[in-house]
Amino acid sequence: MSILINENTKVVVQGLTGREGQFHALRNRDYGTKIVAGTRPGKGGENIETIPIFNTVEEAIEGTGANVAMTFVPPAFAKEAVLEAAYAGCELVVCITEGIPAKDEAEMYDIIKNKTDSKLLGPNCPGLISPGKSNVGIMPHEITKEGNVGVVSRSGTLTYQAVHELTQLDIGQSTCIGIGGDPVPGMSFIDVLSEFEKDSETSAIVMIGEIGGSAEEEAAEYIKSSITKPVVSYIAGVTAPPGKKMGHAGAIVSGNKGTAKAKMEALNEAGAIVVSNPTKIGKAIEELI
Amino acid sequence: MDLFEYQGKSLYQSYEISHPKSVLIKNLNDLEKVNTLNYPVVVKAQVQVGGRGKAGGIKVVNNYQELEDSANAIFGMDIKGHKVEILLVEEASEIYEEYYISFTLDRSEKKYLMMLSSKGGMDIEQVAKDTPDDLIKLHISPSEGLIDKDLDNSILNAKLNQEYTVELIQIIKKLFELFVAGDCDLVEVNPLAITSSGVMALDAKVALDMNAKFKHENFQTLEDEIPIPEEEKYAKERGLNFIKLDGSVGIIGNGAGLVMSTLDVVAEHGGNAANFLDIGGGAQSETVSAALEVLETDPNVKSVLINIFGGITRCDLVAEGIVKATKGKNLKWPIVIRLDGTNALEGLDILKNNPNENIFISENMDNAAKLAVESGA
């Protein structure tokens, strides 16, 4: 098993006709991912390297049985695209697009959560890969390996770094997920942790956070109460200059949360093994299993 | 992006949020413009730092002579490292009551947050700490917006003056409209005041969400008015995310998370980063050359660490950029390079085929950081 996607996942690519969408869709198909359809209003009936194009996600689902959407639509149209995929019934919408306004993100999150049964991953995320099965996103699959460690991270390149460290030590992964670092991400650390906990093929979890916000502190509480599998964690930004505060309002909302130190302490207290350097992640997992 | 008070107030103007009548002074020869206002007026230094009042950056004056004296004193003043180059002169009203209001995004709740208090005009963080019941918090659904009944209750619970409820509702709704339709990360007013001229937003702390730039023609104009350090400007024009720091190890990497992590690993090995520099995703060779040029402007740099994990970014293009920027040059400092991910082998080949005695290749992030710290010591 793996979480969220597997060998049976059928992917519809929103924005397949764009440069990025096409590059990654074809690369993922070569890897073995079932890329079954693309959408582009007005281009229905055409195809890209034999992948059929539909005008809408609804038609794509009807025609191909797609159940997951991968979105590469530009920021100005991303909200509408994500909502279209969710309303059409995709179980999971993976939004790669970077640079979506926070108000659009907040609104689309709210609607998906309250009015649809879909899950949203991202935006501004590298997507997810279940090695050997399916790659829905932009992660370089060459650095992954089939196995039993679940990886979840807010940062893109740092996810690659962590996965690379594991693979170097011959430790494989069940699923690697980047949740994205935008102000309103869809799936949170907690959502992903609960999936890993349920997954019989995941035996340990790597969680990578960074300064800002309080998602890591919330995840720590969840680890303490609900996760029985071992967790190795790394937080980036110990030495980063303090970010700008969002006025007094920001200071009141965040309190003393948000610093690397606060996050590391919370995770440590929750029983996670906190490493000080991403190159130590592999070793820490190796000692656990 | 944090705005100056006067920029925030120009947005108040667009959203019909009542605020004092004012003129902007960018040159002391323009002081005559103030004569279109009624005295007394308030002279306010425009700086992006708190505590300007205590520093003497705000003065109430009653006539032109006093205005000249105050303007001369404040203009050019240094407030916590910020030089005053713009003055906002506003008509002063008699203030009866001072409130606090802000709109921001609560990332934990994934909802908008309104905070409202009758204890305005003072340090609101202190109020939140000492008497938290005086700060009313209302979460707002991003898809439903501000609901009338919730706003009424908040005004009631915050114990604002009931006589002004109608005006308060009106101005609060407009502030919320500015926050949402105006794509602001923050709208904070302290004080929101009841004055002899009605309910008014006397201050403006507004931050814009620059991801929404494509929706708003005025964002670019506002951005151009905000001064940034010369080297950061140079980097920004080249699509680089650059922040100057105090150390001596120059850092170039791709992706904010990996760059932050690189700073940490350098610190673990006893070094200090000279900067944070993220070349972003999908960088071309020119981007990498430009990144090296940015570091050349910093005399504190003693060694450079380039840490790349290719995903969308291709290591061969990074290597080409490095070669372009360094070929045949007598480098000022050693450069340690670590390449992994997409096209890493091709990238390493390019570097090996263009050797430079000051360029060192390292096979992993930890050793690269160690080497960069040692070679600059």
pLDDT in tens, A50-88: 999 999 999 999 999 999 999 999 999 999 999 999 999
Please state which of the ranges A31-45, B77-91, B182-196, B218-232 shows the lowest mean pLDDT: B218-232
CB contact, 8 Å: B362 with chain A?
A: no
Q: Are residues B44 and B128 in the same domain?
A: no
Does residue A165 sit within a domain? yes
CB contact under 8 A, B128 and A252: yes
Contact, B31 vs B25, CB < 8 A?
yes
Q: What is the pLDDT of residue A247?
A: 65
User: Is residue A244 pLDDT above 60, yes or no?
Assistant: no
pLDDT in tens, B244-286: 899 999 999 998 889 999 999 999 999 999 999 999 877 888 9
Using an 8 Å CB-CB cutoff, list chain B residues near A249: 102-104, 113, 115, 186, 188
User: Is residue A256 pLDDT above 70, yes or no?
Assistant: no
**Which of these is catalytic: B100, B112, B164, B320?**
B100
Look at the block and give the residue holding tokens 């079954």. Answer: A36
What total of structural domains would you count in chain B?
3
pLDDT in tens, B102-138: 999 999 899 999 999 999 988 899 999 999 999 999 9
User: Is residue A254 pLDDT above 90, yes or no?
Assistant: no
Q: What is the pLDDT of residue B114?
A: 98
Last residue of a domain, one of A94, A121, A148: A121
Overall average pLDDT of the B328-351 stretch: 93
CATH number at residue A72: 3.40.50.720
Residue B327 burial (CB count, 10 A): 9
**Test mutation, A239, A245, A261, A283, chain B, max B CBs within 10 A:** A239
Q: Are residues A179 and A217 in the same domain?
A: yes
Q: Are residues B128 and B246 in the same domain?
A: no
Structural domain including A209 reads 140-288
Does residue B8 sit within a domain? no
pLDDT in tens, B280-324: 877 888 999 999 999 998 999 999 999 999 988 889 999 999 999
User: Is residue A252 pLDDT above 80, yes or no?
Assistant: no
Q: CA nearest A167: which of A206, A134, A128, A125?
A: A206
Overall average pLDDT of the A240-247 stretch: 65
CATH number at residue B37: 3.30.1490.20
| pLDDT bracket for residue A285 (50, 70, 90) | very high
Overall average pLDDT of the A186-215 stretch: 95
Helix or strand or coil: residue A152? strand
Residues 6+ apart with CB under 8 A from A83: A108, A111, A112
Q: Are residues B40 and B80 in the same domain?
A: yes
User: Is residue B237 pLDDT above 60, yes or no?
Assistant: yes
Q: pTM, whole model, 2 decimals?
A: 0.92
Q: What is the pLDDT of residue B281?
A: 79
Kindly report each contact of residues B23-31 with a partner whose C-beta sits within 8 Å and lies 24 or more positions away, as own/partner. B23/B89, B24/B86, B24/B87, B24/B88, B24/B89, B25/B71, B25/B75, B25/B86, B25/B87, B25/B88, B25/B89, B26/B85, B26/B86, B28/B71, B28/B72, B28/B75, B31/B64, B31/B67, B31/B68, B31/B71
Q: What is the pLDDT of residue B371?
A: 97
User: Is residue A245 pLDDT above 60, yes or no?
Assistant: no
* Residue ranges of B 106-135 with Cβ closer than 8 A to chain A: 106-108, 110-113, 115, 123-125, 128, 135
Helix or strand or coil: residue A130? strand
Known catalytic residue: B346?
no
Q: Are residues A147 and A86 in the same domain?
A: no
Does residue B303 sit within a domain? yes
Known catalytic residue: A141?
no
Contact, B279 vs B240, CB < 8 A?
yes
CB pairs under 8 A between A and B: 179
Per cent of chain B over pLDDT 70 is 100
Per cent of chain B over pLDDT 90 is 83
